[in-house]
Amino acid sequence: MADSDSDNNRAKLRTRPIVRLGLFLISHSTFVSVVCFIAGIVALLLLPVLAKNIYISENALMPGSAKNMLSSHDVSDAIKFINDLTDFEFRSKGSSIESHELIAQYMSGLDAEVAYHKFYPQLDQFNPLHFFTSPDSGIISKNTSCSSLGINTVGIIRAPRGDGKEAIVLVTPYNPKKIDPGEALSLGIAYSVFSLLSRVTWLAKDIIWLVADSQYGEYSAVAAWLREYQAPVFYGVDIGNSETCNDNNTINEFGQNLYLDRKLYGGFRRAGTMAAALVIKVAEQANHLEDSLNIYAEASNGQMPNLDLINIVNYLAVHKQGLRIKVKKMWSLIGSRWLNTLGVVFESLGKIARSLNPQWKFGIPATEYVEGTATLASSLYYQGMGVPTGPHGAFRDYQVDAITLEISPKVSLTNKMIRRNEFILLGGRLIEGVILSINNLLEKFHQSFFLYLLTSPGKFVSVGVYMIPFALLVAPLPIVAASLHADANKSTLQATSAFEVDVSRESWEWLNSARKVLVFHLWGAVVSLLPYFLCRIPNTTPTINFIVWGLLSAFSLIVLYLILGSPVFEDAASQPEKSEWASLKSVTISTAFIGLSLMSVINFATAEIGALLIVPICLMARPLKLDTKARSLRTLLRATCNLALGFIGFPPVAYMLLKAAFEDFHGINVGDYWNWVESLWAWNSATYLYVGIVHLPCWALCIHILFHHC
């Protein structure tokens, strides 16, 4: 018996330091919150300094190990293809259908299997039940006709050394009704590579060239083909009269000259499992400085392709073709004085660290730090927006690594034949090298990172590093919630006679605050569902939809608040005022912590931006009535900060400020927020659920605390 008592005492002693640490953090929650939040901001600003140089993780890729085989003969064939496609007499005589036939003729001339994929324009209707799934494929307009049919042209080269189980996809979007010079050049680059690959003997993976009809949008055309490739959809004959289109008009008109001696197939053609996909585009505007390459990699929900795919493109473009790699930056930060000053500070600290120990590689040049921070902010922004930055995003919905490569010429290529030949040779050899590296893979990309942020084309921050700032930002939330809960119980005990204390009642008083928080989150769900009905109103503009949405949201909040404040449900009249708002703030902070933590698993960038917006007001929220009564400088400053944070944290305002900072200050209106929301539900982005069910209710609860009993 004595031995068991001693064992229990030892167990209590072992857990006592942890309990003491928890009590210390709770009792000093204000100090801990300030330290953690400042440390989170500092850690976020340190990310460009901690970024690593990119490297190839998969040895089998071997980029640049083989000599380029693309020759001037392939370029000449591509020039002839471009001239035929853009010839004025050809374009003026025929309709857009003839361009599909011409592309099919050139593809079949290379002994490729050619097929047409027909699709209908999709309606971006909101469906709340389709989140966390691939974009909806079944909604098309009932009034569609054969004239509104989109047609993708697909060519497939079977690998001589392959078994048909794997494939690499090349995508070139173009508008058949009006082919601009950039689209024609991208088609020429793809054709030169396709022509070369039809002759090589080392090819181990099938090559699919998808010429995507982008008259209804680049993403829609690629997504429609991918849906049919991965999961065939059979439409009924009453929708769009599809069978009539197929039999009487489309296939017969396209195939009348090709069925005789070419490989044109009437059905949908498939190759193997997609190993990777490259979307090829040529920028219309010249760069005027040097040939450059823009890489777009973000997909829905902040998904990114395997970093090795970007690495091999970066290596081949820089070291083999002499291209300058460009990624998006937040240009408003480039000229920022405070950021330049911070860069000088980090550079000086790095010099001091290296003087103490040459092996300490801390600190980077100030200019590099500024550009790295601007790139990092842009990477966070475009991942956090939750929508793809190009048609490559459609592939990530099926877990296929894909990027968009946009090549920008140094000078205009319209009337300079020699320069155009060089440009096609340069772009073609880049694509050839990337395909050769992917062809070497024996399995899918898996060794490098899928979770990362770019600070430059040649540097990245891995998940193990960029999670530190987020963890520091949200760490104060559970600590402050526990502290507020303890303070609320103390207030109740002090306001109640020791002989009248009902222990069971006190321990469950927080459920009243939990009920209020639940009602606000239900309101957030109602607000998130309202667009399902608003998008069915005909002939409305985004601005009108946004205004109606706002009015209905306010009305629903008033109705729920009346229910919330009804004497039938309110049972906290006897609860002290401090205990009431403190308990409500405690539960609000707890739900914000849970929501941010869950969102960080789905889309870290959204959670990081959300933490920067919602955590400060959650920590500082305090009734304005109490601060104004105190009339001290500290309380008045806190009240001012709370009002400013409340304004900035409102989702439409936060979106407008972010869009102005990252894109353009001019031409912003409230309808842009509705357009962004439409794009979120079109791609089933979890950012939409976060904004509606987590961020908005927590913001409303903080505003409710600010004006508590005012």
CB-CB contact of 695 with 610 (8 Å)? yes
Mean pLDDT of the chain: 80
Question: What pLDDT is recorded for position 151?
Answer: 87
Question: What pLDDT is recorded for position 279?
Answer: 95
Give percent of the chain above pLDDT 70.
Answer: 80
Identity at 131, one-letter amino acid code: F
- The residue among 688, 691, 698 whose CA lies nearest residue 518 is 698
Give the Cα-Cα-Cα angle 167, 170, 172 (nearest 5 degrees).
Answer: 155
Listing DSSP states for 658-708 in one string gives HHHHHT-SSS--THHHHHHHHHHHHTT-HHHHIIIIIIHHHHHHHHHHHTT
Q: Other C-beta atoms within 10 Å of 338: how many?
A: 8
Question: What pLDDT is recorded for position 8?
Answer: 54
Question: What pLDDT is recorded for position 498?
Answer: 42
The string of pLDDT tens digits covering residues 525-548 is 999 888 888 887 888 888 888 899
* C-alpha span between 431 and 246 (Å, rounded): 35
The string of pLDDT tens digits covering residues 239-257 is 333 444 544 444 444 444 4
With cut-offs at 50, 70 and 90, classify the pLDDT of residue 643.
Answer: very high
Q: Report DSSP state, residue 61.
A: G
Segment 450-475 mean pLDDT = 91
* C-alpha span between 459 and 372 (Å, rounded): 9
Helix ranges (H only) for 496-603 are 503-507, 510-534, 542-564, 577-602
More confidently predicted of 664 and 423: 423
Give percent of the chain above pLDDT 90.
Answer: 29
With cut-offs at 50, 70 and 90, classify the pLDDT of residue 259.
Answer: very low
- Dihedrals phi, psi of 282, to nearest 5 degrees: -120, 125
More confidently predicted of 436 and 708: 436
The string of pLDDT tens digits covering residues 102-136 is 898 899 888 889 998 888 776 555 655 555 555 54
Segment 277-305 mean pLDDT = 84
CB-CB contact of 101 with 153 (8 Å)? no
Question: What pLDDT is recorded for position 254?
Answer: 41
With cut-offs at 50, 70 and 90, classify the pLDDT of residue 520.
Answer: very high
Question: What pLDDT is recorded for position 645?
Answer: 92
Task: Please indicate, yes or no, whether the overall pTM of this predicted structure exceeds 0.75.
Answer: yes
Is residue 432's pLDDT more than 90?
Answer: yes
- The residue among 119, 395, 392, 116 whose CA lies nearest residue 230 is 395
The string of pLDDT tens digits covering residues 170-220 is 999 988 888 888 888 999 999 999 999 999 988 999 999 999 988 888 888
Structure tokens at 682: 């079109």
Question: What pLDDT is recorded for position 309?
Answer: 93
- The residue among 174, 375, 171 whose CA lies nearest residue 284 is 174
* C-alpha span between 107 and 104 (Å, rounded): 5
Structure tokens at 222: 């690629």
Structure tokens at 205: 């993976």
- Between the alpha carbon of residue 305 and those of residues 63, 176, 440, 446, the distances in Å are 18, 29, 18, 10
CB-CB contact of 116 with 100 (8 Å)? yes
* C-alpha span between 99 and 87 (Å, rounded): 11
Structure tokens at 378: 């842009």
